[in-house]
Amino acid sequence: MTALSTTPLSFPVPAAPSVWPASAVAAPGGDVSVGGVSLTELAGRYGTPAYVVDEAEVRARAAAWRRALPDAEVVYAAKAFLCRAMVDWMEEEGLGLDVCSAGELELAASRGFPADRIVLHGNAKSPHDLRTALRLGVGRIVIDSECEIARLAAHVPGPEAQQVMVRVLPGIEAGGHRKIRTGAEGQKFGLSIAEGDAEDAVARILGQPRLELTGLHTHLGSQIASPEPYTRAVRRVIAFMARIRDRYGITLPELDLGGGFAAAQLPGDPAPAPAAYGRRINDALVRACAEFDLPRPRLTVEPGRSIVAAAGVALYRVLSVKRTGGRVFAAVDGGMSDNPRPALYGARYTVRMVGRSADAPMRATSVVGRHCEAGDVLAESVELPEDLRPGDVLAVPASGAYQVSMASGYNLTGRPPVVAVAGGRSRLLMRREAFEDHLGRDVGL
């Protein structure tokens, strides 16, 4: 594939964070190129649905986080999207990895990723998760419940203690949807500071010689579009660190603020740059440590979506166009099996037709999936040409995070391929899931 002569795309709100990769440009014939490669050409070569990831965009956003917090440890939240290439890119950009399962751990290990730069957390780690973490020697394991303390300590092989952190609930409501708010009281994650659960866990860990408590971890939620909740979390967690010092005579050296930094899904969505978060978090940390007379702990942050969301573009082909009840429905060859986020969280996307020029007026169109669910809607009332027809290719930007990683095998349609683009070339990162893959798992004969 060769690079194209192109012009930049124009967006409704030029000053706002873009939902497209920086390399996205308008190409002849109504096409769009990303990373110097035609999206229409990619749809033809790899089929649809397919996911395109701009490698340069991923690397640039990872580097932006490193610059925003040069004295902090930046670890990529692997649950947003993980494959072997992503592991390599994060290592090469100097980031660590935040993982939630033995599977993510093993994938990182398969690429030789340094285990001491891996953080394992999750509200319900299985015995297999913990054994794998200990076998591979991960840097820190985040304790999310008191049940994990004795279970983990019993399996530490020694002679060195396993470094752990405690995930605390600071009692802060933040996040773009109630299902992705994880820092408030009364939900499944973490241990409450206010109710004393976090302090009980600290005391128990300090009584386990095979565990070394290195710090506290918190995670407020996802799609947090302001630094302000992080500044409040810093003060509350530093205050708790001071209480631990006063009661147990130990000064914890690490603070992990988690992730949740917003990425724009629609043009005009608020999504502060990493530097904006970094400045406010650093200022809050300096003030809180001065207030409570604590040395500044080593800071860790866990961006995921804000690194990969805008780097991804989903490609679909229109299967049918239906006009009924005064509405237009464009059904495509994917849906909730490759992107369950609209059904789960009410996530919204913009959609652009690529591959042909259209002089027809634009009309509000609902892009719907192929599955037997009324809720299988990818994008409600987006502006698409009135002459949209079967065979047209639709591109959905801001599709790099939590889509492929949450994809399912619903209706045995097969999960889509993932294609990386860079420098005018494409390469397959993950192949399309075939029927033979399903058949290989079905051993019931």
- Angle subtended by helix axes 274-291 and 228-248, to nearest 10: 30
pLDDT tens profile 13-37: 333 468 999 999 998 899 999 999 9
Final residue belonging to a domain, choices 308, 332, 350:
308
Shared-domain flag, residues 322 and 205: no
List CB contacts of 403: < 8 A, sequence separation 6 or more. Answer: 51, 81, 312, 314, 338, 339, 341
- Model confidence pLDDT, tens digit, residues 49-108: 999 999 999 999 999 999 999 999 999 999 999 999 999 999 999 999 999 999 999 999
d(CA 95, CA 210): 28
- Position 406 scores a pLDDT of 96
Residues 280 and 323 in one domain: no
Cα gap 408→374, rounded to integer Å: 17
Q: Which residue has the higher pLDDT, 88 or 180?
A: 88
The reported pLDDT for the residue numbered 185 is 55
Q: The domain spanning residue 166 has which CATH number?
A: 3.20.20.10
Q: How many domains does the chain have?
A: 2
Residue 213 shares a structural domain with residue 234: yes
In a domain, 445, yes or no: no
Does the pLDDT at position 350 exceed 90?
A: yes
Same domain, 344 and 251: no
Q: Are residues 90 and 124 in the same domain?
A: yes
Name the catalytic one among 83, 100, 147, 372: 372
**HEC readout, 214-233:** EEEECCCECCECCCHHHHHH
Percent of the chain's residues with pLDDT above 90: 86
DSSP 95-137: -EEEE-SHHHHHHHHHTT--GGGEEE--SS--HHHHHHHHHHT
Tokens found for residue 317: 């082909």
- For residues 196 and 66, give the distance between their C-alpha atoms in angstroms, rounded to a whole number: 35
- pLDDT tens string 356-411: 998 999 999 999 999 999 999 999 999 999 999 999 999 999 999 999 999 999 99
Q: Report d(CA 337, CA 370) in Å as an integer.
A: 9
How many of the other CB atoms lie within 10 Å of CB of 286? Answer: 12
250-296 tens-digit pLDDT: 999 999 999 999 999 999 899 999 999 999 999 999 999 999 999 99
| Residue 305: pLDDT over 70 | yes
User: How confident is the model over 174-180, as a mean pLDDT?
Assistant: 51
* Average pLDDT of span 111-124: 95
The verdict on 259 and 392 lying in the same domain is: no
On whether residue 245 sits in a domain, the answer given is yes
Same domain, 101 and 216: yes
Is 147 assigned a catalytic role? no
| Same domain assignment for residues 330 and 286 | no
* Main-chain dihedrals φ then ψ at residue 167, nearest 5 degrees: -85, 120
Predicted pLDDT of residue 178: 54
SS3 per residue for 238-292: HHHHHHHHHHHCCCCCEEECCCCECCCCCCCCCCCCHHHHHHHHHHHHHHHHHHC
Same domain, 384 and 436: yes
Is residue 181 very low, low, confident or very high in pLDDT (cuts 50, 70, 90)? very low
Domain range holding 71? 55-308
Task: Please indicate, yes or no, if residue 32 is contained in any of the structural domains.
Answer: yes
Q: Is position 102 within any domain?
A: yes
Q: 27 with 33: CB under 8 angstroms? A: yes
Report residue 172's pLDDT band, with 50, 70 and 90 as the boundaries. confident
Would you state the pLDDT for residue 13? Answer: 31
Q: What is the mean pLDDT of the chain?
A: 92
DSSP letters, 372-414, are S-TT-EEEEEEEEETT--TT-EEEEES-SSSSGGG---GGG--
| CATH number of the domain enclosing 38 | 2.40.37.10
pTM over the 0.85 mark: yes
Residue that is last in its domain, among 308, 328, 360: 308
Task: Clarify whether residues 14 and 163 are in a common domain.
Answer: no
Domain boundary among 272, 289, 308: 308
Are 269 and 315 in a shared domain?
no
Cα–Cα distance for residue pair 143/168, rounded to 1 Å: 9
How high is the pLDDT of residue 174?
58
